[in-house]
Structure 1
Amino acid sequence: MKNILRFFSILLITYTVQSCAVLSAGGIISQGQPTKEVTQPLTSTTANSAVNVDHSQFDSLLKKHVNAQGLVDYDGFTEDRTLLEGYLNQLAELDPNNDWSVQELLAYYINLYNAVTIDLILDNPNVKSIKDIDGPWTKGRAKVGNRELSLGGIENGILRKMNEPRIHFAINCASISCPPLLREAYTAGKINEQLDKATTEFINCDKNTITEDKAELSSIFKFYTKDFYINGNESLIPYVNTYSDTKARLDAPVTFKEYDWGLNKQ
Protein backbone atom coordinates (compact mmCIF):
# COMPACT_ATOMS: atom_id res chain seq x y z
CA MET A 1 0.00 0.00 0.00
CA LYS A 2 2.83 2.38 0.92
CA ASN A 3 4.54 1.69 -2.40
CA ILE A 4 1.34 2.50 -4.28
CA LEU A 5 0.91 5.77 -2.38
CA ARG A 6 4.55 6.64 -3.00
CA PHE A 7 4.15 5.91 -6.72
CA PHE A 8 1.12 8.21 -7.00
CA SER A 9 2.88 10.92 -4.97
CA ILE A 10 5.84 10.88 -7.37
CA LEU A 11 3.44 10.89 -10.32
CA LEU A 12 1.60 13.91 -8.90
CA ILE A 13 4.85 15.83 -8.27
CA THR A 14 6.07 15.06 -11.79
CA TYR A 15 2.76 16.19 -13.28
CA THR A 16 2.80 19.39 -11.24
CA VAL A 17 6.35 20.28 -12.29
CA GLN A 18 5.58 19.57 -15.93
CA SER A 19 2.36 21.58 -15.74
CA CYS A 20 4.19 24.57 -14.26
CA ALA A 21 6.79 24.34 -17.03
CA VAL A 22 4.06 24.29 -19.69
CA LEU A 23 2.21 27.20 -18.09
CA SER A 24 5.44 29.18 -17.86
CA ALA A 25 6.45 28.47 -21.46
CA GLY A 26 3.00 29.26 -22.78
CA GLY A 27 2.91 32.50 -20.86
CA ILE A 28 0.02 31.73 -18.51
CA ILE A 29 2.07 32.74 -15.47
CA SER A 30 4.25 35.83 -15.06
CA GLN A 31 7.45 34.03 -13.95
CA GLY A 32 7.79 36.38 -11.01
CA GLN A 33 7.52 39.58 -13.06
CA PRO A 34 5.34 42.48 -11.85
CA THR A 35 1.96 42.83 -13.60
CA LYS A 36 0.45 46.11 -12.52
CA GLU A 37 -2.94 46.88 -14.04
CA VAL A 38 -3.40 50.06 -16.03
CA THR A 39 -5.89 52.44 -14.47
CA GLN A 40 -7.81 53.89 -17.38
CA PRO A 41 -7.32 56.38 -18.82
CA LEU A 42 -3.58 55.81 -19.06
CA THR A 43 -1.43 58.92 -18.80
CA SER A 44 2.12 59.38 -20.07
CA THR A 45 4.55 60.31 -17.32
CA THR A 46 8.03 59.61 -15.96
CA ALA A 47 7.34 61.27 -12.62
CA ASN A 48 5.82 58.36 -10.69
CA SER A 49 8.48 55.65 -10.97
CA ALA A 50 11.53 54.62 -8.97
CA VAL A 51 13.28 53.96 -12.28
CA ASN A 52 13.30 55.73 -15.65
CA VAL A 53 14.68 53.34 -18.27
CA ASP A 54 16.74 54.73 -21.14
CA HIS A 55 15.51 53.20 -24.42
CA SER A 56 17.41 55.63 -26.67
CA GLN A 57 19.71 52.99 -28.15
CA PHE A 58 16.78 50.88 -29.36
CA ASP A 59 15.05 54.05 -30.54
CA SER A 60 18.01 54.90 -32.79
CA LEU A 61 18.09 51.38 -34.24
CA LEU A 62 14.38 51.41 -35.03
CA LYS A 63 14.60 54.78 -36.77
CA LYS A 64 17.53 53.49 -38.82
CA HIS A 65 16.25 50.03 -39.78
CA VAL A 66 12.43 50.26 -39.89
CA ASN A 67 10.67 52.03 -42.75
CA ALA A 68 7.46 54.04 -42.84
CA GLN A 69 5.43 50.88 -43.50
CA GLY A 70 6.85 49.22 -40.39
CA LEU A 71 8.93 46.72 -42.41
CA VAL A 72 12.32 45.74 -41.06
CA ASP A 73 15.77 45.85 -42.64
CA TYR A 74 17.13 42.73 -40.95
CA ASP A 75 20.39 42.97 -42.90
CA GLY A 76 20.89 46.44 -41.45
CA PHE A 77 20.16 45.14 -37.96
CA THR A 78 22.76 42.43 -38.55
CA GLU A 79 25.38 45.08 -39.20
CA ASP A 80 24.35 46.83 -35.96
CA ARG A 81 23.86 43.65 -33.96
CA THR A 82 26.42 44.65 -31.35
CA LEU A 83 24.28 47.69 -30.55
CA LEU A 84 21.11 45.58 -30.38
CA GLU A 85 22.80 43.08 -28.08
CA GLY A 86 24.08 45.95 -25.95
CA TYR A 87 20.51 47.18 -25.52
CA LEU A 88 19.27 43.69 -24.63
CA ASN A 89 22.08 43.37 -22.07
CA GLN A 90 21.06 46.73 -20.63
CA LEU A 91 17.48 45.47 -20.17
CA ALA A 92 18.73 42.18 -18.74
CA GLU A 93 20.63 43.97 -16.00
CA LEU A 94 17.48 45.68 -14.75
CA ASP A 95 15.06 44.18 -12.23
CA PRO A 96 11.46 45.29 -12.89
CA ASN A 97 9.44 45.39 -9.68
CA ASN A 98 6.42 47.05 -8.14
CA ASP A 99 8.38 50.26 -7.50
CA TRP A 100 8.31 50.82 -11.25
CA SER A 101 5.33 52.72 -12.61
CA VAL A 102 2.85 50.98 -14.91
CA GLN A 103 4.11 53.28 -17.67
CA GLU A 104 7.71 52.14 -17.24
CA LEU A 105 6.65 48.49 -17.07
CA LEU A 106 4.62 48.74 -20.28
CA ALA A 107 7.45 50.42 -22.18
CA TYR A 108 10.04 47.97 -20.83
CA TYR A 109 8.17 44.79 -21.75
CA ILE A 110 6.94 46.03 -25.13
CA ASN A 111 10.46 47.04 -26.15
CA LEU A 112 11.89 43.82 -24.71
CA TYR A 113 9.43 41.74 -26.76
CA ASN A 114 10.17 43.62 -29.96
CA ALA A 115 13.95 43.65 -29.52
CA VAL A 116 14.11 39.94 -28.67
CA THR A 117 11.92 39.12 -31.69
CA ILE A 118 14.28 41.00 -33.99
CA ASP A 119 17.26 39.24 -32.39
CA LEU A 120 15.53 35.89 -32.89
CA ILE A 121 15.19 36.54 -36.63
CA LEU A 122 18.86 37.53 -36.79
CA ASP A 123 19.68 34.15 -35.22
CA ASN A 124 17.75 32.51 -38.06
CA PRO A 125 18.62 34.63 -41.10
CA ASN A 126 17.21 32.31 -43.77
CA VAL A 127 13.71 31.79 -42.36
CA LYS A 128 10.70 32.95 -44.34
CA SER A 129 8.45 32.94 -41.29
CA ILE A 130 8.96 33.12 -37.55
CA LYS A 131 6.85 29.97 -37.35
CA ASP A 132 9.69 28.07 -39.07
CA ILE A 133 11.77 28.54 -35.90
CA ASP A 134 11.58 25.91 -33.18
CA GLY A 135 9.52 27.19 -30.24
CA PRO A 136 9.62 30.89 -31.14
CA TRP A 137 7.19 31.86 -28.38
CA THR A 138 7.74 29.12 -25.80
CA LYS A 139 11.50 28.93 -25.30
CA GLY A 140 13.22 31.23 -22.82
CA ARG A 141 14.95 33.91 -24.89
CA ALA A 142 14.58 37.21 -23.05
CA LYS A 143 17.02 37.64 -20.17
CA VAL A 144 15.68 39.63 -17.24
CA GLY A 145 17.90 39.45 -14.19
CA ASN A 146 18.51 35.77 -13.49
CA ARG A 147 15.47 34.63 -15.49
CA GLU A 148 14.93 33.80 -19.14
CA LEU A 149 11.42 34.73 -20.24
CA SER A 150 9.70 33.38 -23.32
CA LEU A 151 8.03 35.72 -25.80
CA GLY A 152 4.75 34.02 -24.95
CA GLY A 153 5.46 34.67 -21.29
CA ILE A 154 6.02 38.38 -21.91
CA GLU A 155 2.84 38.69 -23.95
CA ASN A 156 0.41 36.45 -22.08
CA GLY A 157 1.87 36.26 -18.59
CA ILE A 158 2.74 39.95 -18.23
CA LEU A 159 1.42 42.40 -20.81
CA ARG A 160 -2.05 40.92 -21.25
CA LYS A 161 -2.54 40.98 -17.48
CA MET A 162 -1.97 44.73 -17.36
CA ASN A 163 -5.49 45.64 -18.56
CA GLU A 164 -4.28 47.46 -21.67
CA PRO A 165 -5.49 45.82 -24.91
CA ARG A 166 -3.57 48.31 -27.05
CA ILE A 167 -0.45 46.26 -26.35
CA HIS A 168 -1.63 43.91 -29.11
CA PHE A 169 -0.87 46.64 -31.65
CA ALA A 170 2.49 47.54 -30.11
CA ILE A 171 4.24 44.17 -29.97
CA ASN A 172 5.43 42.81 -33.30
CA CYS A 173 5.78 39.11 -34.16
CA ALA A 174 7.96 39.69 -37.26
CA SER A 175 5.08 38.83 -39.61
CA ILE A 176 3.30 40.63 -42.46
CA SER A 177 -0.08 40.56 -40.71
CA CYS A 178 1.35 41.85 -37.43
CA PRO A 179 0.80 45.49 -36.56
CA PRO A 180 3.67 47.49 -38.11
CA LEU A 181 6.71 47.93 -35.92
CA LEU A 182 6.78 51.48 -34.61
CA ARG A 183 9.83 53.43 -35.77
CA GLU A 184 10.61 54.49 -32.24
CA ALA A 185 11.03 52.86 -28.86
CA TYR A 186 8.17 53.03 -26.39
CA THR A 187 8.82 55.25 -23.38
CA ALA A 188 6.90 56.06 -20.21
CA GLY A 189 6.83 59.72 -21.19
CA LYS A 190 4.95 59.00 -24.43
CA ILE A 191 3.35 55.61 -23.81
CA ASN A 192 -0.32 56.62 -24.05
CA GLU A 193 0.16 58.61 -27.25
CA GLN A 194 2.30 55.84 -28.77
CA LEU A 195 -0.27 53.14 -27.98
CA ASP A 196 -3.04 55.32 -29.41
CA LYS A 197 -1.02 55.88 -32.58
CA ALA A 198 -0.26 52.17 -33.02
CA THR A 199 -3.89 51.17 -32.42
CA THR A 200 -5.46 53.85 -34.61
CA GLU A 201 -3.10 53.23 -37.52
CA PHE A 202 -3.57 49.47 -37.35
CA ILE A 203 -7.36 49.49 -37.16
CA ASN A 204 -7.58 51.91 -40.09
CA CYS A 205 -5.04 50.09 -42.29
CA ASP A 206 -5.73 47.46 -44.94
CA LYS A 207 -5.41 44.64 -42.42
CA ASN A 208 -9.00 45.52 -41.47
CA THR A 209 -11.94 46.38 -43.74
CA ILE A 210 -14.63 48.22 -41.83
CA THR A 211 -17.86 49.59 -43.28
CA GLU A 212 -21.15 50.54 -41.69
CA ASP A 213 -22.58 47.13 -42.57
CA LYS A 214 -19.70 44.77 -41.79
CA ALA A 215 -16.33 44.42 -40.14
CA GLU A 216 -13.63 42.19 -41.66
CA LEU A 217 -11.01 42.25 -38.96
CA SER A 218 -7.47 41.08 -38.48
CA SER A 219 -7.22 37.66 -36.87
CA ILE A 220 -5.61 39.42 -33.90
CA PHE A 221 -9.16 40.18 -32.84
CA LYS A 222 -9.95 36.48 -33.15
CA PHE A 223 -6.87 35.35 -31.23
CA TYR A 224 -7.57 37.68 -28.28
CA THR A 225 -11.29 38.41 -28.59
CA LYS A 226 -12.11 38.82 -24.91
CA ASP A 227 -9.31 41.35 -24.40
CA PHE A 228 -11.30 43.81 -26.51
CA TYR A 229 -14.67 43.53 -24.80
CA ILE A 230 -15.73 46.89 -23.31
CA ASN A 231 -17.77 47.14 -20.10
CA GLY A 232 -18.92 43.54 -20.28
CA ASN A 233 -20.27 43.96 -23.81
CA GLU A 234 -19.34 40.74 -25.62
CA SER A 235 -18.78 42.33 -29.00
CA LEU A 236 -15.71 43.60 -30.84
CA ILE A 237 -17.55 46.44 -32.57
CA PRO A 238 -17.54 48.97 -29.68
CA TYR A 239 -13.77 48.68 -29.28
CA VAL A 240 -13.09 48.88 -33.02
CA ASN A 241 -15.41 51.87 -33.40
CA THR A 242 -13.42 53.73 -30.74
CA TYR A 243 -10.51 53.99 -33.19
CA SER A 244 -12.00 53.38 -36.63
CA ASP A 245 -12.62 56.29 -39.00
CA THR A 246 -15.65 54.37 -40.28
CA LYS A 247 -18.11 53.25 -37.63
CA ALA A 248 -19.76 49.85 -38.04
CA ARG A 249 -23.28 49.21 -36.81
CA LEU A 250 -23.29 47.52 -33.42
CA ASP A 251 -25.07 44.53 -34.97
CA ALA A 252 -22.81 44.40 -38.04
CA PRO A 253 -21.44 40.90 -38.79
CA VAL A 254 -17.79 40.32 -37.88
CA THR A 255 -15.46 38.07 -39.87
CA PHE A 256 -11.71 37.60 -39.69
CA LYS A 257 -9.03 37.86 -42.36
CA GLU A 258 -6.46 35.15 -42.96
CA TYR A 259 -3.21 35.80 -41.11
CA ASP A 260 -0.05 36.12 -43.20
CA TRP A 261 2.91 34.75 -41.21
CA GLY A 262 5.43 35.73 -43.88
CA LEU A 263 8.45 37.65 -42.62
CA ASN A 264 8.01 41.43 -42.33
CA LYS A 265 11.23 42.04 -44.21
CA GLN A 266 11.96 45.07 -46.36
Structure 2
Amino acid sequence: MKRINSPSLTLALALALIPANVMADETTTTTPASTAAATTPASTAAATTPASTAAATTPASTAAATTALTSTIDHAAFDALLRAHVKGPRVDYAGFAKNAAFAKYIDAIGTFNPATLTSRADRLAFYINAYNALTISGVLKHLPGLKSVEAVYPDFGFFKRADFKVGGKAMSLNNLEHDIIRPEFKDPRVHAALNCASVSCPPLLAEAYVPTKVEAQLEKQMKAFVLDSARNQVDATKGVKLSMIFDWFSKDFKANGGVVTFMSKYLSTEQAATLSSSMTAGKVTYLPYDWNLNKL
Protein backbone atom coordinates (compact mmCIF):
# COMPACT_ATOMS: atom_id res chain seq x y z
CA MET A 1 0.00 0.00 0.00
CA LYS A 2 1.37 3.35 -1.02
CA ARG A 3 2.18 5.74 1.88
CA ILE A 4 0.32 9.07 2.04
CA ASN A 5 2.68 12.04 2.28
CA SER A 6 0.17 14.90 1.47
CA PRO A 7 0.02 17.46 4.41
CA SER A 8 -3.49 18.58 3.55
CA LEU A 9 -4.80 15.07 3.50
CA THR A 10 -3.04 14.35 6.81
CA LEU A 11 -4.77 17.38 8.36
CA ALA A 12 -8.12 16.25 7.05
CA LEU A 13 -7.67 12.84 8.63
CA ALA A 14 -6.70 14.46 11.92
CA LEU A 15 -9.76 16.62 11.96
CA ALA A 16 -11.95 13.65 11.22
CA LEU A 17 -10.72 12.02 14.43
CA ILE A 18 -11.87 14.95 16.62
CA PRO A 19 -15.24 14.17 18.39
CA ALA A 20 -18.31 15.90 17.03
CA ASN A 21 -19.21 17.48 20.37
CA VAL A 22 -15.79 19.14 20.57
CA MET A 23 -16.27 20.49 17.09
CA ALA A 24 -19.67 21.83 18.12
CA ASP A 25 -18.20 23.58 21.15
CA GLU A 26 -15.53 25.18 19.05
CA THR A 27 -18.10 26.33 16.49
CA THR A 28 -20.29 27.87 19.17
CA THR A 29 -17.41 29.67 20.80
CA THR A 30 -16.17 31.17 17.58
CA THR A 31 -19.50 32.00 16.01
CA PRO A 32 -18.87 34.64 13.31
CA ALA A 33 -21.14 37.62 12.78
CA SER A 34 -22.65 36.04 9.71
CA THR A 35 -23.61 32.95 11.74
CA ALA A 36 -25.20 35.12 14.45
CA ALA A 37 -27.27 36.80 11.82
CA ALA A 38 -28.38 33.40 10.65
CA THR A 39 -29.25 32.38 14.21
CA THR A 40 -31.49 35.46 14.60
CA PRO A 41 -32.40 36.34 11.02
CA ALA A 42 -33.67 39.76 10.07
CA SER A 43 -37.03 38.25 9.23
CA THR A 44 -37.34 36.86 12.77
CA ALA A 45 -36.45 40.23 14.31
CA ALA A 46 -39.04 41.88 12.13
CA ALA A 47 -41.58 39.28 13.18
CA THR A 48 -40.97 40.12 16.85
CA THR A 49 -42.19 43.69 16.29
CA PRO A 50 -43.32 43.69 12.68
CA ALA A 51 -44.09 46.91 10.90
CA SER A 52 -47.51 45.53 10.12
CA THR A 53 -48.21 44.99 13.84
CA ALA A 54 -47.05 48.49 14.72
CA ALA A 55 -49.19 49.85 11.96
CA ALA A 56 -52.15 47.86 13.26
CA THR A 57 -51.64 49.22 16.77
CA THR A 58 -51.41 52.79 15.54
CA PRO A 59 -52.47 52.66 11.90
CA ALA A 60 -51.10 55.25 9.54
CA SER A 61 -54.58 56.55 8.84
CA THR A 62 -55.22 57.07 12.55
CA ALA A 63 -51.87 58.70 13.09
CA ALA A 64 -52.46 60.98 10.13
CA ALA A 65 -55.92 61.89 11.38
CA THR A 66 -54.56 62.69 14.82
CA THR A 67 -51.75 64.75 13.38
CA ALA A 68 -54.15 66.63 11.15
CA LEU A 69 -56.26 67.86 14.08
CA THR A 70 -55.63 71.41 15.21
CA SER A 71 -55.50 72.76 18.75
CA THR A 72 -57.11 76.14 18.13
CA ILE A 73 -60.35 77.39 16.62
CA ASP A 74 -61.53 80.93 16.05
CA HIS A 75 -65.25 81.68 16.35
CA ALA A 76 -64.85 85.26 15.08
CA ALA A 77 -65.86 84.49 11.50
CA PHE A 78 -68.99 82.64 12.64
CA ASP A 79 -69.79 85.50 15.00
CA ALA A 80 -69.63 88.03 12.15
CA LEU A 81 -71.87 85.87 9.97
CA LEU A 82 -74.47 85.44 12.69
CA ARG A 83 -74.58 89.17 13.32
CA ALA A 84 -75.06 89.81 9.62
CA HIS A 85 -77.54 87.07 8.70
CA VAL A 86 -79.71 86.37 11.75
CA LYS A 87 -82.73 88.66 11.88
CA GLY A 88 -84.86 88.03 14.94
CA PRO A 89 -86.22 84.47 14.75
CA ARG A 90 -85.30 84.17 11.06
CA VAL A 91 -82.08 83.22 9.29
CA ASP A 92 -80.79 84.45 5.94
CA TYR A 93 -79.41 81.12 4.76
CA ALA A 94 -78.47 82.51 1.36
CA GLY A 95 -76.08 84.89 3.11
CA PHE A 96 -74.24 81.96 4.68
CA ALA A 97 -74.16 80.08 1.39
CA LYS A 98 -72.40 82.91 -0.41
CA ASN A 99 -69.70 83.37 2.22
CA ALA A 100 -66.42 81.45 1.90
CA ALA A 101 -65.60 82.17 5.54
CA PHE A 102 -68.51 79.96 6.61
CA ALA A 103 -67.18 76.99 4.63
CA LYS A 104 -63.79 77.49 6.29
CA TYR A 105 -65.42 77.53 9.72
CA ILE A 106 -67.21 74.26 8.99
CA ASP A 107 -63.87 72.75 7.93
CA ALA A 108 -62.30 74.08 11.14
CA ILE A 109 -64.94 72.29 13.24
CA GLY A 110 -64.03 69.08 11.47
CA THR A 111 -60.29 69.38 12.05
CA PHE A 112 -60.26 70.91 15.53
CA ASN A 113 -59.47 68.62 18.46
CA PRO A 114 -62.03 69.26 21.26
CA ALA A 115 -59.85 67.31 23.68
CA THR A 116 -57.55 70.33 23.85
CA LEU A 117 -60.32 72.27 25.59
CA THR A 118 -60.07 71.78 29.33
CA SER A 119 -62.56 74.25 30.81
CA ARG A 120 -66.31 73.74 30.89
CA ALA A 121 -66.91 77.17 29.36
CA ASP A 122 -64.57 76.48 26.43
CA ARG A 123 -66.15 73.13 25.66
CA LEU A 124 -69.72 74.35 26.07
CA ALA A 125 -69.18 77.32 23.75
CA PHE A 126 -67.47 75.13 21.15
CA TYR A 127 -70.14 72.45 21.04
CA ILE A 128 -73.07 74.88 20.91
CA ASN A 129 -71.41 76.78 18.06
CA ALA A 130 -70.61 73.52 16.29
CA TYR A 131 -74.22 72.32 16.53
CA ASN A 132 -75.66 75.58 15.23
CA ALA A 133 -73.11 75.97 12.44
CA LEU A 134 -73.51 72.38 11.26
CA THR A 135 -77.30 72.75 11.29
CA ILE A 136 -76.96 75.74 8.98
CA SER A 137 -74.52 73.77 6.84
CA GLY A 138 -77.00 70.91 6.60
CA VAL A 139 -79.75 73.27 5.49
CA LEU A 140 -77.53 74.77 2.79
CA LYS A 141 -77.07 71.33 1.21
CA HIS A 142 -80.79 71.18 0.45
CA LEU A 143 -81.53 74.73 -0.64
CA PRO A 144 -83.19 76.38 -2.47
CA GLY A 145 -86.14 74.00 -2.40
CA LEU A 146 -86.07 73.03 1.27
CA LYS A 147 -89.29 73.77 3.15
CA SER A 148 -88.64 71.88 6.38
CA VAL A 149 -85.79 69.88 7.91
CA GLU A 150 -88.43 67.31 8.81
CA ALA A 151 -88.79 66.49 5.12
CA VAL A 152 -85.09 66.11 4.26
CA TYR A 153 -84.94 62.40 5.19
CA PRO A 154 -87.58 60.06 6.65
CA ASP A 155 -87.99 59.88 10.41
CA PHE A 156 -86.06 63.10 11.09
CA GLY A 157 -82.98 61.72 9.38
CA PHE A 158 -81.63 65.27 9.10
CA PHE A 159 -80.68 64.98 12.77
CA LYS A 160 -79.79 61.28 12.78
CA ARG A 161 -77.45 60.90 9.81
CA ALA A 162 -73.72 61.25 10.46
CA ASP A 163 -73.34 63.79 7.68
CA PHE A 164 -71.00 66.07 9.61
CA LYS A 165 -67.46 65.97 10.96
CA VAL A 166 -66.37 67.14 14.40
CA GLY A 167 -62.85 66.63 15.67
CA GLY A 168 -62.03 64.29 12.81
CA LYS A 169 -65.03 62.05 13.53
CA ALA A 170 -68.24 61.58 11.58
CA MET A 171 -71.16 62.74 13.68
CA SER A 172 -74.85 63.48 13.49
CA LEU A 173 -76.57 66.43 15.11
CA ASN A 174 -78.15 63.96 17.52
CA ASN A 175 -74.67 62.73 18.48
CA LEU A 176 -73.71 66.27 19.39
CA GLU A 177 -76.86 67.02 21.34
CA HIS A 178 -77.74 63.73 23.02
CA ASP A 179 -74.33 62.05 23.34
CA ILE A 180 -72.16 65.05 24.20
CA ILE A 181 -73.90 68.31 25.10
CA ARG A 182 -76.77 67.06 27.28
CA PRO A 183 -74.92 64.37 29.25
CA GLU A 184 -71.69 66.30 29.68
CA PHE A 185 -73.05 69.69 30.74
CA LYS A 186 -76.41 68.74 32.26
CA ASP A 187 -77.66 72.28 31.69
CA PRO A 188 -81.25 72.57 30.39
CA ARG A 189 -80.51 76.09 29.18
CA VAL A 190 -78.81 74.55 26.15
CA HIS A 191 -82.29 73.80 24.80
CA ALA A 192 -82.71 77.53 24.25
CA ALA A 193 -79.31 77.77 22.57
CA LEU A 194 -79.40 74.87 20.10
CA ASN A 195 -81.27 75.88 16.99
CA CYS A 196 -82.90 73.19 14.85
CA ALA A 197 -83.62 75.47 11.87
CA SER A 198 -87.35 75.40 12.52
CA VAL A 199 -89.97 78.03 13.31
CA SER A 200 -90.82 76.66 16.76
CA CYS A 201 -87.19 76.37 17.83
CA PRO A 202 -85.81 79.00 20.18
CA PRO A 203 -84.39 81.72 17.90
CA LEU A 204 -80.74 81.46 16.93
CA LEU A 205 -78.58 83.86 18.91
CA ALA A 206 -77.18 86.55 16.60
CA GLU A 207 -73.65 86.04 17.88
CA ALA A 208 -71.29 83.16 18.53
CA TYR A 209 -71.01 81.68 21.99
CA VAL A 210 -67.71 82.51 23.66
CA PRO A 211 -66.21 81.08 26.86
CA THR A 212 -65.97 84.43 28.63
CA LYS A 213 -69.70 85.05 28.49
CA VAL A 214 -71.35 81.72 27.64
CA GLU A 215 -73.15 81.67 31.01
CA ALA A 216 -74.67 85.10 30.41
CA GLN A 217 -75.57 84.13 26.84
CA LEU A 218 -77.37 80.98 27.97
CA GLU A 219 -79.24 82.91 30.63
CA LYS A 220 -80.28 85.54 28.10
CA GLN A 221 -81.48 82.91 25.62
CA MET A 222 -83.48 80.91 28.14
CA LYS A 223 -85.16 83.99 29.59
CA ALA A 224 -86.13 85.20 26.12
CA PHE A 225 -87.45 81.75 25.23
CA VAL A 226 -89.55 81.36 28.39
CA LEU A 227 -91.06 84.83 27.97
CA ASP A 228 -91.70 84.45 24.24
CA SER A 229 -95.50 84.30 23.92
CA ALA A 230 -95.21 82.65 20.51
CA ARG A 231 -93.56 79.66 22.19
CA ASN A 232 -94.79 79.72 25.80
CA GLN A 233 -98.06 81.13 27.10
CA VAL A 234 -98.66 81.43 30.84
CA ASP A 235 -101.88 83.29 31.45
CA ALA A 236 -104.26 83.07 34.41
CA THR A 237 -107.26 83.57 32.12
CA LYS A 238 -106.23 81.78 28.93
CA GLY A 239 -104.37 78.97 30.62
CA VAL A 240 -100.88 77.54 30.19
CA LYS A 241 -99.52 76.37 26.85
CA LEU A 242 -95.84 75.51 26.73
CA SER A 243 -93.31 74.63 24.07
CA MET A 244 -92.93 70.92 23.37
CA ILE A 245 -89.32 71.32 24.47
CA PHE A 246 -90.48 71.31 28.09
CA ASP A 247 -92.25 68.01 27.46
CA TRP A 248 -89.62 66.28 25.30
CA PHE A 249 -86.81 67.11 27.71
CA SER A 250 -88.75 67.03 30.96
CA LYS A 251 -86.06 64.81 32.53
CA ASP A 252 -83.44 67.49 31.94
CA PHE A 253 -85.60 70.05 33.72
CA LYS A 254 -86.57 67.62 36.48
CA ALA A 255 -82.89 67.23 37.32
CA ASN A 256 -82.82 70.99 37.83
CA GLY A 257 -85.85 71.32 40.10
CA GLY A 258 -88.57 70.58 37.57
CA VAL A 259 -90.25 72.64 34.86
CA VAL A 260 -92.20 74.85 37.28
CA THR A 261 -89.20 75.72 39.42
CA PHE A 262 -86.99 76.22 36.39
CA MET A 263 -89.40 78.46 34.47
CA SER A 264 -90.43 80.42 37.55
CA LYS A 265 -86.99 82.01 37.69
CA TYR A 266 -87.92 83.95 34.57
CA LEU A 267 -91.64 84.51 35.17
CA SER A 268 -93.44 87.14 37.19
CA THR A 269 -94.76 86.10 40.60
CA GLU A 270 -98.29 85.91 39.20
CA GLN A 271 -97.22 83.83 36.19
CA ALA A 272 -95.20 81.48 38.38
CA ALA A 273 -98.26 80.87 40.56
CA THR A 274 -100.42 80.24 37.49
CA LEU A 275 -97.90 77.78 36.08
CA SER A 276 -97.63 75.94 39.39
CA SER A 277 -101.37 75.58 39.91
CA SER A 278 -101.95 74.56 36.29
CA MET A 279 -99.22 71.94 36.43
CA THR A 280 -100.60 70.54 39.69
CA ALA A 281 -104.10 70.39 38.22
CA GLY A 282 -102.83 68.73 35.05
CA LYS A 283 -104.10 71.59 32.91
CA VAL A 284 -100.87 72.36 31.05
CA THR A 285 -100.98 71.74 27.32
CA TYR A 286 -98.23 71.90 24.71
CA LEU A 287 -98.18 73.91 21.53
CA PRO A 288 -97.88 72.07 18.19
CA TYR A 289 -94.29 72.20 16.95
CA ASP A 290 -93.82 74.02 13.66
CA TRP A 291 -91.00 72.34 11.72
CA ASN A 292 -91.12 74.73 8.79
CA LEU A 293 -87.74 76.23 7.93
CA ASN A 294 -86.96 79.41 9.84
CA LYS A 295 -85.62 81.14 6.75
CA LEU A 296 -85.79 84.87 6.21
TM over 0.5: yes
- Give the letter for the 1:111 counterpart: N
Is 1:127 equivalent to 2:146 in the alignment?
Answer: yes
Is 1:262 equivalent to 2:262 in the alignment?
Answer: no
Is 1:63 equivalent to 2:83 in the alignment?
Answer: yes
Query: What's the % identity of the aligned pairs?
Result: 37
Matches within 5 A, 1:142-181: 142-161=164-183, 162-181=185-204
1:129-173 Cα shifts (integer Å, max 9, x gaps) = 001112201111231233111000101011111111100000100
What's the CA shift for 1:98?
7.0
- Give the letter for the 1:260 counterpart: D
Distance 1:164 1:185 in 2: 18
Question: More relative contact order in 1 or in 2 (CA 8 Å, sep 6+)?
Answer: 1
Q: Whose helix fraction is larger, Structure 1's or Structure 2's?
A: 2
1:143 match: secondary structure: strand
Distance 2:105 2:255 in 1: 36
Greater shift after overlay, 201-210 or 99-108? Answer: 99-108
Distance 1:109 1:264 in 2: 21
Question: Is the alpha carbon distance of 1:188 and 1:52 closer, same or farther for their aligned partners in structure 2, counting shifts above 3 Å?
Answer: farther
Matches within 5 A, 1:1-12: none
Structure 1 unaligned residues grouped into runs of 5+: 1-50
1:243 match: secondary structure: coil
Distance 1:205 1:132 in 2: 26
Contact 2:253-2:259 within 8 A present in 1 as well:
yes
> For residue 25 of structure 1, what is the aligned residue in structure 2?
none
Contact 2:134-2:164 within 8 A present in 1 as well:
yes
Contact 2:112-2:168 within 8 A present in 1 as well:
no
Distance 1:243 1:147 in 2: 38
Contact 2:89-2:199 within 8 A present in 1 as well:
no
Is 1:97 equivalent to 2:97 in the alignment?
Answer: no
2:114 match: secondary structure: coil
1:251 match: secondary structure: helix
Contact 1:215-1:248 within 8 A present in 2 as well:
no
> For residue 224 of structure 1, what is the aligned residue in structure 2?
249
Q: 1:115 aligns with which of 130, 133, 154?
A: 133
Distance 1:173 1:99 in 2: 25
| RMSD of Structure 2 on Structure 1 (CA) | 1.7
What's the CA shift for 1:248?
3.3
- 4+ runs deviating over 2 angstroms: 51-54, 211-215, 248-251
- Give the letter for the 1:191 counterpart: V
Q: What is the count of residue pairs matched by the alignment?
A: 212
Q: 2:163 aligns with which of 133, 141, 154?
A: 141
Question: Is the alpha carbon distance of 1:63 and 1:99 closer, same or farther for their aligned partners in structure 2, counting shifts above 3 Å?
Answer: closer
How high is the TM-score relative to the length of structure 1? 0.75
